[in-house]
Structure 1
Amino acid sequence: MSTSTDPTSPHYAVAPNAQRLLWAGFMAILAAGVGFSVRGASVLEEWSKAFGFTQTELGGITGGGLVGFGVIIIISSFLAEKIGFGRLMFFAFIVHFLSAVVTLAAPAVFTAAGKDATFWCLFVGMFMFAIGNGVCEAVVNPLVATLFPNNKTHYLNILHAGWPAGLILGGVASIFLAGNVSWQIQISLFLLPVILYGIMIFGQRMPSTESSVSGMSIGQILLQFGSPLLLFLLVIHAMVGYVELGTDSWIARITGSILDETTGRWLFVYTSALMFILRFVAGPIVHRISPLGLLFGSAILATIGLYTLGGVGTTVAAIGALTVYGLGKTFFWPTMLAVVSERFPKGGAVTLGMVGGVGMLSAGLLGGPGIGFKQDKYASEQLESQAPEVFNRYKAAKENRFLVFETNGLDGAKVATLGDDGKKLAGEMEILQETNTSDPNIEALNTWWQDAQTHAAADKQPVTDATLNGSRMALKLTAIVPAVMAVCYLILLFYFKSIGGYKALKLEDEPVA
């Protein structure tokens, strides 16, 4: 893809190294996608089996990563205005490596201090990973918007094609590596694109933000958040974070529950590939319809796709539902960023960072934990009502909370032991005996299994059915979010029609509320 030196060209770039910086940003977002994908496709399941986490607890770990992502985007967007893009990217490079060190310490922490300490070890590791991701996001979005001022929707979609590219690579790696290599190796794969973006940004000169060019102070930038339009866009992007990233945290495991694990992972790769391809054609689409028209259509498709996916029973039906959902979710994130940048260009890194941060915070605080909670709630309620004795055998030791709600989920390690008829547990006990070592967590699970296995034949079907019900209900209820988004986009379409139509503003223009 070539750039142009003609300021009126849609491919005009403000710097000669624009393409190199664009693809360095692509690699940075790809790194986040690889880590996210590997974790969601296989590592969460292995953590559940190894450490006994419930779905809500796993959602808390993934949510912690997304919360950190959101907080750091906002903080870094202010720093970008003061210290520049280059120093922030170097910081992100260092933190990405440190996050791997902390996460890989989890097995040692589990042996030494138990489940609760392991939860916090993984939470901190994911939070540090999110810091690196958040700093990158805070840099690359305004960087690309600055580099390509005449075609922001197109180039921001290309930049964010790095996300599904990472999901594809991580998903394929999980399919072939899960069960064959340790989760530690799988989770470390994100370091490869980290090294690549580090090489690509080394020694490169980066432009100033659009707000710096326009002479806007931080105080003047913050005044823009008094605009009802910008505040409304923030609310919508919070829903984008919930429905896109929150759902992506779980979609491979949920479809795996409905069908089987391997099929769920391949379907996740398929949806990501669809998104990757489509993000390269966003530019031609918005030349035919406005960005808001694209977003409205996307929300309708996402609603239909998610709700339909909650009721599928075959692989063919799942492919159909995921195709509709994939078409819907593809353009949400980058096109929302483009709309904010086009309507509030003087906001520079801060407005884009605030929008991205709100989306990540919503995904972390509401999406990841909320979808996990819904799975726990509807699985445990069905099992408790239909087979209370079975529920008592498989319920977690303590209740889970989400906002003001409570439920007693199912213990992941117990459910996994039932699923493989205790084979993995038996192997772990053999290792303890052969090495003359002790592991109180494995031994406690084995003590429980000595009684539970006498009921295993009768327990397996109601536990499987309950888990499936939790997965289906989580998807159907999540479909409400894009439905609300569609209404919001329709309101914006009518608003802009009333003021003469949607158009991108330039630095010399005053933003219109």
Structure 2
Amino acid sequence: MSENNRMRLLWAGFMAILAAGVGFAIRGGIFDNWGKEYGFTAAQLGAIGGAGFSGFCFGIIIGGVIVDKIGYGKLVALALLCHVLSAFVTFGASTPANAYNFLFWGMFIFAYANGTLEAVANPLVATLFPENRTHYLNILHASWPAGMVLGSVAGWVLDDKMQLGWKVQLALYLVPTALYAIMFLGQKFPKSEAAEKGASFVSMLKPVGILGALVACYLLSLFFGDIFKAFSPEQAKNIGYAVGGVLLIVVALMTKFSLGSFILFVLFVTHALVGAVELGTDGWIQNITGNLFTSEQGKYLFIWTSAIMFGLRFCAHWIEKTLKLSPIGLLLVCAAIACVGLNLASGMQTFSMALVALGIYAVGKTFFWPTMLAVVGDRYPQSGAVAMSIMGGIGMLSAGLIGGPGLGYGKDRFAGEELKKADAALYSEYKAEKPSTFLNLASTEAYGLDGTKLAAAKEAKEKTPQQKTVVEADQKGDRATLKADSFIPMTMAAIYLLLLLYFKAIGGYKVVRIDEQAS
């Protein structure tokens, strides 16, 4: 394959993920529009945002399963079709009665397209650049923060400055969508190392095995449990677990009850935490900072953290070589930095302090996603696109089912508790009609604040003492949510430390060839 062809495919993948980043950033910036226009609670907004991750899982897992068999080109065409379709579905939202379903499924289809493209881009770049996967996968995923910067700037100009409707803002992601279609057009695609050697799908799935499938199937059971709540609220959870159980049995039968790699299982669990803390937090951070400061400052901070990520993702190779870190060592350092950043962010009182705290957090989260993918590519080449795609799906499912809704639930719970503590009567007046829960657990039931009433209190030019109390309680809820969020990278740091010790015990981290067996 020529160098020109190789680099054009890299940058076509870059543009595809950039389209996803643009849509993600604009959606995060218009959460407040949706809350005000349709009266959504934070938990409902979190669920809509969650669909923007859950659909990704289906796209990347299904795409990863079939990409080595049908080729990259057909999946790119499918993603293009879904990106266009998602615009029509999302723009169907018009009233409080129909908005939730249109926005939820529009985001789901959009995310499915994004996942399908990542099922193409990740194994494609890993195959094109086997000599330095960490470096080139980080370059590929620099497109994500680049898209978030572009989307956030566009949202700031169109929303805050020009006061245009949210549909006009969201339609901007169709521009990079058209560009990636043109860049992929007519290109020659390689095959993964496993596909080149004629490996069957079952042999690619064996390293995942029952243990790896258990992580994905648990998250899928939560997803289907949410879906079936609309049809059978009492049995939805059981139906979800039944679907997840059936899928687990199918994998067990296909792999002849192979347990799979325990280290790959640990990486899958850890990537679920990556999805929750990185993408789940990204989905809410603009809303939270806009609430703690001003909407415009929230956008500045979002652009600031995204710009840091964009720049640093071109430096992964230099950082590894300079600091003499393995990919696992890099991940350990990043997890510790992210934990510190979120703890500092929970106490930020001034805009300058926010720049420092969120800047530290941005440095920490920069290398999580692409470096985790590189580790799977390095250690499990015999799995082809399968393990890498399942890992991406797990991360996005976790962001959609745990990270996004979890932070929305935290905001509801902590804000409600703060207002109830400050003024019980005022809390009764402002609390939402329906309670928020986390992971469908009745024991987590908590009442947040009504989105429409909260927006009115925030936007009042001459706030009454009661409105000030409501706004302060909501801000305290946001700070408590960031504090709780910091426990996720703390847990990740402990896992990476154990992995670092494990690799040291077996002679150090190294890239495995397809004819070797990774433990």
TM-score normalised to the size of structure 2? 0.87
Partner of 1:299: 335
Structure exhibiting the larger radius of gyration computed from Cα positions: 1
The AA in structure 2 aligned to 1:233 is: L
Q: Mapping of 1:85-100 within 5 angstroms?
A: 85-100=72-87
Pairs aligned (count) = 461
| Residue 121 of structure 2, aligned match among 140, 155, 173 | 140
**Per-residue displacement from partner, 1:394-423 (whole Å, max 9, x unpaired)?**
2212112212111111111111122223x9
Q: Mapping of 1:319-330 within 5 angstroms?
A: 319-330=355-366
Taking the aligned partners of 1:289 and 1:299, their CA distance within structure 2 comes to 14
Partner of 2:32: 45
Aligned to 2:517, the other structure's residue is in SS state: coil
Taking the aligned partners of 1:491 and 1:401, their CA distance within structure 2 comes to 33
Partner of 2:9: 21
Aligned to 1:17, the other structure's residue is in SS state: helix
Instruction: Tell me if structure 1 keeps the 8 A contact 2:457–2:471.
Output: no
How far did residue 491 of structure 1 move?
Answer: 0.4
Q: Does 1:374 align with 2:380?
A: no
Q: Does 1:495 align with 2:506?
A: no
Taking the aligned partners of 2:325 and 2:369, their CA distance within structure 1 comes to 17
How far did residue 286 of structure 1 move?
Answer: 2.1
Q: Does 1:36 align with 2:24?
A: yes
Q: Does 1:55 align with 2:38?
A: no
Instruction: Tell me if structure 2 keeps the 8 A contact 1:66–1:130.
Output: yes
**Per-residue displacement from partner, 1:262-297 (whole Å, max 9, x unpaired)?**
111101100000000000011122232111111000
Aligned to 2:199, the other structure's residue is in SS state: coil
Q: Mapping of 1:471-490 within 5 angstroms?
A: 471-490=478-497
Partner of 1:130: 111
| Residue 58 of structure 2, aligned match among 54, 58, 71 | 71
How far did residue 16 of structure 1 move?
Answer: 4.6
Partner of 1:7: none
**Per-residue displacement from partner, 1:299-348 (whole Å, max 9, x unpaired)?**
00000000110001001111111111011000000000000100001211
Q: Does 1:460 align with 2:467?
A: yes
How far did residue 213 of structure 1 move?
Answer: 1.3
Q: CA RMSD in A?
A: 1.3
Partner of 1:119: 100
Q: Mapping of 1:123-202 within 5 angstroms?
A: 123-179=104-160, 180-202=163-185
Aligned to 2:437, the other structure's residue is in SS state: strand
Aligned to 2:445, the other structure's residue is in SS state: strand
Taking the aligned partners of 1:14 and 1:354, their CA distance within structure 2 comes to 30
How far did residue 372 of structure 1 move?
Answer: 0.5
Partner of 1:234: 268
Instruction: Tell me if structure 2 keeps the 8 A contact 1:210–1:347.
Output: no
Partner of 2:354: 318
**Per-residue displacement from partner, 1:153-209 (whole Å, max 9, x unpaired)?**
000000000000001001111111114211101111111100000001111111112
How far did residue 458 of structure 1 move?
Answer: 2.6
Taking the aligned partners of 2:126 and 2:4, their CA distance within structure 1 comes to 15
Query: 4+ residue runs of structure 1 moved beyond 3 angstroms?
Result: 13-16
The AA in structure 2 aligned to 1:152 is: R
**Per-residue displacement from partner, 1:53-76 (whole Å, max 9, x unpaired)?**
011100000001101111221111
The AA in structure 1 aligned to 2:490 is: A
Instruction: Tell me if structure 1 keeps the 8 A contact 2:457–2:468.
Output: no
Q: Mapping of 1:216-365 within 5 angstroms?
A: 216-225=199-208, 226-287=260-321, 288-365=324-401
**Per-residue displacement from partner, 1:476-501 (whole Å, max 9, x unpaired)?**
00100000000000001100100110
Partner of 1:9: none
**Per-residue displacement from partner, 1:214-273 (whole Å, max 9, x unpaired)?**
322111111112001111110110100000000000011111111211111101100000
The AA in structure 1 aligned to 2:42 is: Q
The AA in structure 1 aligned to 2:126 is: A
Taking the aligned partners of 1:197 and 1:413, their CA distance within structure 2 comes to 39
Taking the aligned partners of 2:359 and 2:458, their CA distance within structure 1 comes to 30
| Residue 512 of structure 1, aligned match among 483, 502, 518 | 518
**Per-residue displacement from partner, 1:24-54 (whole Å, max 9, x unpaired)?**
10011000000100111x2111000100001
Partner of 2:234: none
The AA in structure 1 aligned to 2:178 is: I
**Per-residue displacement from partner, 1:412-469 (whole Å, max 9, x unpaired)?**
1111122223x9xxxxxxxxxxxxxxxxxxxxxxxxxxxxx9xx61321111111101
Partner of 1:470: 477
Partner of 2:245: none
Aligned to 1:398, the other structure's residue is in SS state: coil
**Per-residue displacement from partner, 1:334-367 (whole Å, max 9, x unpaired)?**
0000001000012111111011000001100100
How far did residue 15 of structure 1 move?
Answer: 6.1
How far did residue 388 of structure 1 move?
Answer: 1.9
Taking the aligned partners of 2:449 and 2:138, their CA distance within structure 1 comes to 39
Taking the aligned partners of 1:183 and 1:123, their CA distance within structure 2 comes to 15
Partner of 1:434: none
The AA in structure 2 aligned to 1:83 is: I
Aligned to 1:280, the other structure's residue is in SS state: coil
The AA in structure 1 aligned to 2:458 is: G
The AA in structure 2 aligned to 1:487 is: A
Instruction: Tell me if structure 2 keeps the 8 A contact 1:299–1:328.
Output: yes
Instruction: Tell me if structure 1 keeps the 8 A contact 2:373–2:388.
Output: yes
**Per-residue displacement from partner, 1:96-119 (whole Å, max 9, x unpaired)?**
011011111112xx1xxx33x311
Taking the aligned partners of 2:76 and 2:41, their CA distance within structure 1 comes to 35
Taking the aligned partners of 2:113 and 2:433, their CA distance within structure 1 comes to 34
Partner of 2:256: none
How far did residue 385 of structure 1 move?
Answer: 2.5
Taking the aligned partners of 1:235 and 1:215, their CA distance within structure 2 comes to 29
How far did residue 389 of structure 1 move?
Answer: 2.0
Taking the aligned partners of 1:80 and 1:14, their CA distance within structure 2 comes to 22
